[in-house]
Amino acid sequence: MFDSDQIVYLNGEFIPLGEAKVSVLDRGFIFGDGVYELIPVYAGEPFRMPHHLARLQRSLDGIGLTNPHTDAQWEALVRALVGRQPFADQGVYFQVTRGVAKRDHAFPTDVVPTVFMMSNRLATPSREAVDRGVAVVTAEDNRWHRCDLKTISLLGNVLMRQLAADHGAVETVMFRDGFLTEASASNVLIVVDGGIVVPPKDNLILPGITYDATMEFAREAGIPLTVRPVPKAEALAADEMWLSSSTKEVLAITTVDGKPFAGGRPGPVFRSMWEIFQAKKPKAH
């Protein structure tokens, strides 16, 4: 359940979730016409906020929607919302839709975008999930060809995530035309011969902030890194396979389609990267 007293932000106001209401003509509701972001917050401090705001701008540009706020205004809103929640670690979710208008596919003119923000407790993976790794299933990627935009039109991803849930797995790893893309709400990285290999940030995957962070940390640590298309057969025979996202951080995959993967245990490169990641997170002071 959710807490209807939790303070959220809607169109200029901080109000209880139970009082936050949007018109049924909002284009987010009617068409899924909007974009979103999720920023992890550790010990009250947002992690990589400039990267998230840059991706928000990219998503807004991609759907032809003017950013309703400057980065400084977004930062102030994020910090104000975070300050109104009782949790140290949070996930700030925010979305911008094209606003409320008579139903017509073409963009309306002179419409004010709808801005909604909420911040929940950040549920990072349990120690058990980190130590044992997690299960995934695989599927052909049947989503549209603009997976690089973080849009709220998430039905393709929702159906993929449900496929995983139906099989007691945490994610569905997807392949398109024989190559690895990503998972329903995470990027996917593999390890081959001690080096990390990742698919390129093209139109078929979301440019993950955690994917970028992981690559940056790998470079600093001297872990070899290759960006190139990853054939399905190579991914399924890799030494390690990981998920990355703002809520999962990095998480090893140890079961694929019901069978043990890569010896059924998180590998050494994963364990190093997980330690590095923990050390990089903002700490309480």
Ligand X SMILES: Cc1ncc(COP(=O)(O)O)c(C=O)c1O
Q: How far apart are CA 211 and CA 101, in angstroms?
A: 37
Identified binder of ligand X from the candidate list 60, 209, 250, 253, rule CB under 6 A = 209
Burial of 263 (0-12, 13-18, 19+ CB in 10 A): exposed
Q: Which secondary-structure segment (H or E) carries 234?
A: helix 232-236
Residues in contact with ligand X, shown as a per-residue x/- string from 220 to 259 under the rule CB under 6 A = ------------------------xxx-------------
Cα–Cα distance, 210 to 3 (Å, whole number): 28
Nearest alpha-carbon partner for 3 in 143, 120, 135: 120
90 binds ligand X (CB under 6 A): no
Q: Does 153 engage in binding with ligand X (CB under 6 A)?
A: no
Q: Which residue has the tokens 């990853």?
A: 230
- Of 99-107, 180-188, 222-230, 264-272, which segment contacts ligand X by CB under 6 A? 180-188
Contact window for ligand X (CB under 6 A) among 2-10, 196-204, 206-214, 250-258: 206-214
Choose the stretch contacting ligand X; rule: CB under 6 A; options: 27-35, 67-75, 82-90, 204-212.
Answer: 204-212
Closer residue to ligand X, CB minimum distance, 108 or 282: 282
Q: Which of 22, 24, 32 is nearest to 155 (CA)?
A: 32
Among the listed residues 150, 248, 259, 280, the single catalytic one is 150
Q: Are 217 and 188 in contact (CB under 8 A)?
A: no
What's the gap between Cα 272 and its chain centre? Answer: 22
Closest approach of Cβ 48 to ligand X, in Å? 8
150 is catalytic: yes
How many residues touch ligand X under the rule CB under 6 A: the total is 13
Cβ atoms of 30 and 107 within 8 Å: the answer is no
Cα–Cα distance, 118 to 103 (Å, whole number): 27
**If binding is defined by CB under 6 A, does position 157 make contact with ligand X?**
yes
Pick the closer one to ligand X by CB: 26 or 182: 182
Determine which residue in the list 208, 230, 254, 274 makes contact with ligand X, applying CB under 6 A.
208
114 versus 245: smaller Cβ distance to ligand X? 245
Q: Which is nearer to ligand X, 85 or 210 (CB)?
A: 210
Distance between CA atoms of residues 159 and 165, nearest Å = 10
* Token pair of 219 as six digits: 């470079």
Which residues from 21-80 bind ligand X, rule CB under 6 A?
none
β-strand partners of 40: 91
Could you say whether residue 210 binds ligand X (CB under 6 A)?
yes
Q: Which of 250, 195, 203, 201 is nearest to 226 (CA)?
A: 195
CB of 193 to ligand X, least distance (A): 25
The site for ligand X (CB under 6 A) is made up of: 157, 182, 185-187, 206, 208-211, 244-246
Residue positions annotated with a catalytic role:
150
